[in-house]
Amino acid sequence: MSQTAFSAPLSATLRRVTLLSTPTEQKDSVHAYVRHLDQFGLSKFGAICNHPSEVKLQHTFTYSSLTDFQKVIDRDAVSVTVQPEAGEALVFDFHPQVFIPDLESDKLALRHLFLAKFKKNAPVEDLVNGYASLTEVIKEMRAFQWGTVANTADAVGQAREFTHVFITTFEDSAARDNYLAHPAHDVFAKRIFEHIDKIVVTDFITQRESE
């Protein structure tokens, strides 16, 4: 690799991951929250659709969203209080370090979100670069970025102690399934899980509000 993922430049864009524990029959409350976010940034959201082997890693969360703020001041204008009817929330802000950028055609792709809190003395740089190196052998990984928590002081608790996020883009669920079944993924997963204190994994495909 000419550039490692760990040394990839910080994007000026501030990105927010929001995970909601909203009952599916109350999805209108999710739409309302996303409309609130869209007053200040641009959001992608969808119902969580984890692979059966990773359902337990989504915990109680049912919806994921990603919101891009072009300026930090735009993020600061957003209410961090999620409507009670939207359910329990995890909010994680970060400046992406983009290793492989998304393509314009990836608007409706599947996104695989991996949030982690590493154990003390974990070889974080090595793990970040190891995760990114999977893109060299698993062709289904169309895009890859990562970042560290950048919540404001009054909202740091909403990150739930998570410190790192990794986002991989796949064309669809079949591509995600091939990634999970790949031997290189199996080897790396065993390695990174040795150093994980807390984890949540959610997959979602961007949906239109009418869906």
Residue with tokens 């949906």: 207
What residues in the chain have per-residue pLDDT under 50? Answer: 1, 84, 210
pLDDT on residue 68 = 92
Domain residue ranges of the chain, discontinuous segments joined by +: 14-205
Q: How far is residue 63's CA from residue 49's CA, in Å, rounded to a whole number?
A: 9
CATH 3.30.70.100 corresponds to the domain 14-205: yes
> pTM, whole model, 2 decimals?
0.91
State residue 36 phi and psi, 5-degree precision.
Answer: -60, -45
Beta-bridge partner residues of 115: 165, 200
pLDDT on residue 180 = 98
pLDDT on residue 84 = 45
Q: Which residues fall within 8 angstroms of residue 157, CB to CB, at 6 or more apart?
A: none
